[in-house]
């Protein structure tokens, strides 16, 4: 018997992607308008959070080696891993390139970074929901 049987239709991962995309697009528009600026401290903080999440996820999956896995849990873990790796990648790119407040490229990169960071956070909520055995 599986420890996680949420019997869901995995709408949580799709909702996490949609919410993250909206947040990323809004942030990109606000960055190019000059309303919001991303600082290297913010980007470094995102990088630190994503690296810690990756470490915790690796340790947790090494400790919880179950043969049977729920499809909802697998989809949520895939979404969480995509958010972590995307946040790490774009944080490193933004730290290497530098952030210019009026640059369209910087706005797009900051929007993508916020998308992956929001995906990391929202898919964490989905993971907690799946582990708590909540139905959709």
| In the chain, where the domains are located | 11-131
Q: Supply the angle between the helices 11-33 and 71-97 in degrees, to the nearest 10.
A: 20
Tokens describing residue 81: 């891993």
98 burial (CB, 10 Å; 0-12 / 13-18 / 19+) is exposed
Dist CA 83 CA 76 (whole Å): 11
pLDDT (mean) for 63-83: 73
Query: CA end-to-end span of the chain, whole Å?
Result: 21
Total-model pTM: 0.83
Tokens describing residue 54: 């990756």
Q: In angstroms, what CA-CA distances link 45 with 33, 38, 104? A: 23, 11, 22
Q: Give me the helices (H) in 4-70, please.
A: 11-33, 40-63
**Tens digit of pLDDT for each residue in 40-65?**
899 999 999 999 999 888 888 777 66
Between 98 and 9, where is the model more confident? 98
Dist CA 7 CA 9 (whole Å): 7
Query: Is residue 68 very low, low, confident or very high in pLDDT (cuts 50, 70, 90)?
Result: low
**Least confident window among 25-29, 32-36, 43-47, 57-61:** 57-61
């Amino acid at each position: 018997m599986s420890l996680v049987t949420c019997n869901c239709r995995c709408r949580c991962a799709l909702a996490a992607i949609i919410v993250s995309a909206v947040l990323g697009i809004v942030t990109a528009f606000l960055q190019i308008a000059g309303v919001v600026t991303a600082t290297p401290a913010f980007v470094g903080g995102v990088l630190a959070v994503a690296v810690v999440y990756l470490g915790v996820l690796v340790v947790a999956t090494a400790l919880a080696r179950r043969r049977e896995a729920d499809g909802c849990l697998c989809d949520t873990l895939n979404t969480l891993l995509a958010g972590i790796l995307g946040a790490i990648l774009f944080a490193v790119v933004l730290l290497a390139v530098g952030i210019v407040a009026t640059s369209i490229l910087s706005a797009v990169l900051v929007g993508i970074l916020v998308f992956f960071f929001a995906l990391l956070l929202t898919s964490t909520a989905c993971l907690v929901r799946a582990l708590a055995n909540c139905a959709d």
